[in-house]
Amino acid sequence: MKAPEKNKRRVGVGTALRFTFLLVGALAALFPFYTMIMGALQKRRDTSLVGLLPHLDNLTLDNFFGVNQSIDLPRSLLNSLIITVIVMVCTVVFGLLVGYALAVLRFRGRGLVFAMLLLVQAIPFQLLMIPLYVMIVRFFGLADSYVGMVAPFAINSVAVLIFRQYFLQIPKDIFDAARIDGASEVRILWSVAVPLVRPAILTAVLVTFIGPWNEFLWPFLITKDVSLQPLAVTLANFSQANSTFQQNPMGAILAGACVLAIPAVVLFILFQRHFTSANIGSAIKG
């Protein structure tokens, strides 16, 4: 009787330790967000440890109103949304097509295409920025346009890899059965494959959303037109004459960062419960 009690006690201690480590990790991950929110709500910037605690006499929404006074916030949000939606649609469409081709179809040079896809992952975007800028601005004349800001991100190699790996998990018998029934490859992709990789689509949407929504350097290079600049760029152009910015510049910057972070956090909260693997095996009889 003593041995089972000792085992139960060890299991209880191990569970408590794991829970403690997970709780500490979660608090450490949430701490930067808490600091950002507290700094955005402070009237006077307090960098001490006491300043991390909420004090009612030092809390205000003036920093958020100051952001709206310094920039055209609705227009900037609309620009960010337009760019992000276009990038997400292109990423999902091209990612599904290329991922399906690399995983399901058999054609000469498929291995070379996949190797080049992996090579793209190893090349930092900063190395490609200058030739891309010359090509898009000088050769194609796409400066000060949504197309110029979207073009380099229309095809996401990470999304292609995600879709390819999901398609590889689907049993080949499903595709063979659809082909025997006379379905074309496009019909198989749309009616058979896509419903089975919904978790991959949601993952690609979330990963893709964070990139263009927070992108700063490329839109900053492509356009100087304030009416076309996304939120990340306009936040860097706070009016120095704004009274709120002069009194608490860090608070105004953190307020802008909160506005920029809220959509990404909301999207993750809405989609995170869907990030589960589809029951692919149930699609085959027997």
Domain boundaries, the chain: 2-60, 72-283
Distance separating alpha carbons of residues 178 and 238, to the nearest angstrom: 57
- Tens place of pLDDT for every residue, the chain, 286 residues? 455 665 666 656 777 788 888 888 888 888 888 888 888 888 777 666 666 777 777 777 778 777 777 777 888 889 998 999 999 999 999 989 988 888 888 888 888 888 888 888 888 888 888 888 889 988 888 888 899 999 888 888 888 888 888 888 888 888 888 888 888 888 888 888 888 888 888 888 877 888 888 888 889 889 888 888 888 888 777 644 454 455 666 777 788 788 888 877 777 777 666 654 444 443 444 4
Backbone angles phi, psi at 272, to 5 degrees: -65, -30
Instruction: Collapse the DSSP code of 120 into the 3-class scheme (helix H, G, I; strand E, B; otherwise coil) and give the result.
Output: helix
Tokens linked to 286: 């027997």
| Residue 77 identity | L
Question: Which of 265, 205, 216, 249 shows the shortest CA–CA distance to 76?
Answer: 216
Architecture of domain 72-283: Orthogonal Bundle (1.10)
pTM: 0.77
Instruction: Collapse the DSSP code of 42 into the 3-class scheme (helix H, G, I; strand E, B; otherwise coil) and give the result.
Output: strand
Distance separating alpha carbons of residues 198 and 278, to the nearest angstrom: 7
Backbone angles phi, psi at 59, to 5 degrees: -105, 140
Tokens linked to 100: 């399906």
Tokens linked to 178: 């659809």
